[in-house]
Structure formats: C-alpha cells, structure tokens
Structure 1
Amino acid sequence: MGTREDLLAGAKQCLAERGLARTTVRDIVAASGTNLAAINYHFGTRDKLLNQAMLESTAEAVSHLLDTLPADTELDSAGRLHSFWTKLLASFGSDRTIWSANVEALAHSLHSPEIRAEIGVAQQLARDGLSRDLGNDNPDVGMLLQSLIVGLLVQALVNPDHAPTAESIASGIRALADLSTPAPH
C-alpha cells in the first residue's frame, strides 16, 4: 500500500476504535505508520480524510453485505434467507472494524450532506441487490431487509453476546407476518 492507502486504513481503524469525535491526527498517524504532513498532502485536512474513510467504509460494508448473499440457487427462498442471515451475522463479528466504521458514517451523515448523499447511493445499491437476490425483485423486500440489517448491526456491535441469530430472526419475521395479516371477517 501507498501512503494515501495507509492513511485511509489508519483512519478507518481509528473510526472503528475511537469514533469520529475522539480521533485525532496523531491517532491516525500512529495507526497508519505515516506522518502528519502526509494527511495535509493527500487530503488537505483531518475531516476530509475521515470523510473519505467513512465513504469507503460504507462502500466496503455494502460490498460485504452483497457478498453474503447466497450463490447456491439450489436452496429454496427460506434456505437462501437463512444462509444470508447466518453469513451476515457472522460478518458483524469477524469484520467488526468495517461495520463499526459504517455505523460511524451513518451517524455522521446526519451532519454532512456529502456523506448523506453517498450513503444514500450505497443504500439504494444494497436495497436493489437484496431485492434482486432475495426478494424476486420486489423493492419492498430490499427496503425491509436493509432496515432489519441496520438494527441487527447496531445490536450486534453494542451487545454481541445477545445479538439475534438467524433462527430468531426467521421466527420473528414469521410472527410479524402473522400479525400483519388481517383476520378474516
């Protein structure tokens, strides 16, 4: 990797470990093994570097999300969905840095139109992929899955020992569907 990439990797690590507000340029320099002048040379400011790190973290998270979609077309829709949940939940633990930085980016997007716009594009890409691969191109499926994913992600990061499982998610979805079906009159 070059200095620019090292800075981005260090910034992503700092975002995941310290959060935006507590990340200093010294933290980034230490994590990246670069020097202070490199931040100014490659990005101009700490904020521009951290914004780029958040955008890349969001793109990586969407890529991870889409990579968890099951490739096995032999499975029925319930099997594909179970496989997806299992892989996704596992990635919340194994790729915690990417997911933590993504949550940081989501929070920061409330205060940054640039980040918000980029995340909006990434979210649409994720919804489209989820709808296509798990929902027979029904956009409502992608929207609902993405909403569930964000909530599951936060639960898994905050309290991983009590995060939902693929089985509990499926059970909850079935129960919710039952509650959503009007009773016959």
Structure 2
Amino acid sequence: MGHREDLLEGAKRCLLEKGYARTTARDIVAASGTNLASIGYHYGSKEALLDLAFLQVTEEWGDTTTDAPDRLGAKTAADAPEDPFGQFREVWERVIGSYGETRAVWQLQLEVISRIDTDPALRKALAGPQGDARNGLARTMLGIDPEADPERARVAGLFCQALLTGVMVQWMTDGESAPSAQDLTDGLKAVLEGRVS
C-alpha cells in the first residue's frame, strides 16, 4: 500500500478507537506510519480524510450485516426465507447479533450524526451515499429490488434507515430492554395488520 491507502486505514482505526472529535492528525500518522504532510497532499485536510474513513467504516459495517451472512451465522441468500417477515427477522438477527463486535461503529455513527449541524463538509459527504444505503436496506431487509421498483425501494429504504437508527440508539442506551429481532418483526406486523400475530 502507498501512503494514501495507509492513511485511510490508519484513520479508520483511529475513528473506531478514539472517535471523530478526539482523533488528531498525529494519531493518524502514528497509526499509518506516514507523515503529517501526507494528509494534506493526499486528502487536503484531516477532516476530509476522516470523512472518507467514516464512510468506508460504515460501508464495511453494512457489508458485514448484508453481504457476509456466513460470518455472522446467518443462512446464505439462496436459503433466505420466502416469507418477507422471515427475511426481515433474519436480517435483524444479524444486525443485533453483531452488536458486540460492532459497538464501536454504532458509537461512531452517533457521534458523527451529532456533528453535522456544525460541519457542512461532513453533512455534504454523508448526503451523497444515502440513496445507495437506502436501496441496500430495502433490498436486504424487505427483499425489494430497487431496479425493478425504485420508488417503492426508496420509501422502504427510508423506513428501514429510520428504524435502524432508532434501534441503534436503544441498544446504545439500554441494551437490557432494547428490541430483539422478533420484537421488531412483531412490531412491523402490528403496524401492517393492526395486531401482533
């Protein structure tokens, strides 16, 4: 790897270990084995590097829960349940089941969300990938193909993203009473059917 890639990997490690606000340029240099001038040369600023590193961390976390089911003990895509509620529950089992090993990512996401009102560049960096993220959530959680039905995928992705953020906050603040995958599935049924099956 060159300095550019080393810096990005170092920044990702720093974000997960120290968070966004506490990561300094010197931390990134120490973690990457590079030098301070490399940050400006390759990324323009520490903040631009951290923004990109954050996007990659969250993308990798998303891959962990959607594209790598075997890693978390889930079934393969070919074995996924035909029942959409079953698919929804299985995805949430993976997301919640990964909480212990991905807690640092969840903490980082909440920290970054709290910064967007005072950091226009960060807000802009986060806005770009939102559509792809929502499409991925619609596909993974509800089995909706964004290419076949883009509007349905868009609104379903908005719903899933709102749900994911809410579940994340509940697990971060009170894991004892936070919802299980079955709770979320029953809640979705209750909303759709007016009762829990």
> TM exceeds 0.5?
yes
Q: Which residue of 2 aligns with 1:173?
A: 188
Cα distance in 2, alignment partners of residues 110 and 58 from structure 1: 20
Q: Which residue of 2 aligns with 1:105?
A: 112
What displacement does 1:109 show? Answer: 3.0
Q: Is residue 7–residue 28 contact of structure 2 (8 Å, CA) maintained in 1? A: yes
Q: Structure 1's 97 and 34: CA in aligned 2 closer, same or farther, altered over 3 A? A: farther
What displacement does 1:86 show? Answer: 0.7
Q: Which residue of 2 aligns with 1:39?
A: 39
User: Any gaps of 5 or more consecutive residues in structure 2?
Assistant: 70-75
Q: Which residue of 1 aligns with 2:27?
A: 27
Q: Structure 1's 74 and 163: CA in aligned 2 closer, same or farther, altered over 3 A? A: closer
Q: TM-score, normalised by structure 2?
A: 0.72
CA offset digits 1:101-144 (Å, max 9, x no partner): 33343333333334323423322212223334515453433221
What displacement does 1:85 show? Answer: 0.5
Report the residue type matching 1:38 in the other structure: S
Q: Which residue of 2 aligns with 1:78?
A: 85
Q: Which residue of 2 aligns with 1:48?
A: 48
Give the aligned CA root-mean-square deviation in angstroms. 3.0
Report the residue type matching 1:14 in the other structure: C
Cα distance in 2, alignment partners of residues 4 and 159 from structure 1: 39
Structure number with greater CO (CA < 8 Å, separation at least 6) is 1
Q: Percent identity?
A: 41
Q: Which residue of 2 aligns with 1:146?
A: 161
Q: Which residue of 2 aligns with 1:183?
A: none
Cα distance in 2, alignment partners of residues 54 and 159 from structure 1: 25
CA offset digits 1:29-77 (Å, max 9, x no partner): 2322333333233223322222222232343344445426872354311
Residue correspondences, number: 180
Q: Equivalent residue of 1:102, what SS?
A: helix
Q: Structure 1's 114 and 63: CA in aligned 2 closer, same or farther, altered over 3 A? A: farther
Report the residue type matching 2:166 in the other structure: G
Q: Equivalent residue of 1:95, what SS?
A: helix
